[in-house]
Amino acid sequence: MTATSANKADTNSVVTINYNRNAYGYFIRSGKSMKSIKSLRTRLTSHNTLVVQNEGGFVGEMGFEWVEPATNIKIQLFEADNNIALPSTYKDFLKISNGAVLFKDIKYGQWGCKIFGLDELIYTSKQANIWGYALKSEWLVFAQWLGDCDILVFDLNRSASGEKNYILDGEEGESVNNWQFINGSFEKWIDRLIVSQGAKYWRWY
- Mention the CATH class of domain 33-198: alpha beta
**pTM for the complete prediction?**
0.81
Confidence of residue 46 (pLDDT cuts 50, 70, 90): very high
Q: Tell me which residue of 27, 33, 35, 34 sits closest to 6, measured CA to CA.
A: 27
Confidence of residue 60 (pLDDT cuts 50, 70, 90): confident
Q: Are 6 and 17 in contact (CB under 8 A)?
A: yes
- Decide: residue 9, CB within 10 A, 0-12 exposed, 13-18 middle, 19+ buried: exposed
Confidence of residue 1 (pLDDT cuts 50, 70, 90): very low
Ranges in the chain annotated CATH 3.40.1580.10: 33-198
Q: Are 147 and 110 in contact (CB under 8 A)?
A: yes
Residue 162 DSSP SS3? coil
**Statement: residue 143 has pLDDT above 70:** yes
pLDDT digits (tens, 9 = 90+) for 85-116: 999 999 999 999 999 999 999 988 788 999 99
DSSP string, 92-150: HHHTT-SSEEEEEETTT----EEEP-HHHHHHHHHHHHHTT----TTEEEEEEETTS--
Mean pLDDT, range 64-84, rounded to an integer: 97
* CB atoms closer than 10 angstroms to residue 105: 18
Q: Are 144 and 115 in contact (CB under 8 A)?
A: no
Longest CA–CA span in the chain (Å) reads 55
Mean pLDDT, range 173-202, rounded to an integer: 95
pLDDT for position 58:
83
Confidence of residue 6 (pLDDT cuts 50, 70, 90): very low
Confidence of residue 26 (pLDDT cuts 50, 70, 90): very low
Residue 160: phi and psi, rounded to 5, are: -65, -30
Confidence of residue 33 (pLDDT cuts 50, 70, 90): confident
**Statement: residue 28 has pLDDT above 80:** no
DSSP string, 40-56: HHHHS-TTSEEEEE-GG
Confidence of residue 32 (pLDDT cuts 50, 70, 90): low
**Statement: residue 19 has pLDDT above 90:** no
* Integer Rg of the chain from CA: 18
Element containing residue 156 per DSSP (H, E): helix 156-160
Task: Identify which has the larger pLDDT, 42 or 57.
Answer: 42
**Residue 66 to residue 142: CA distance in whole angstroms:** 15
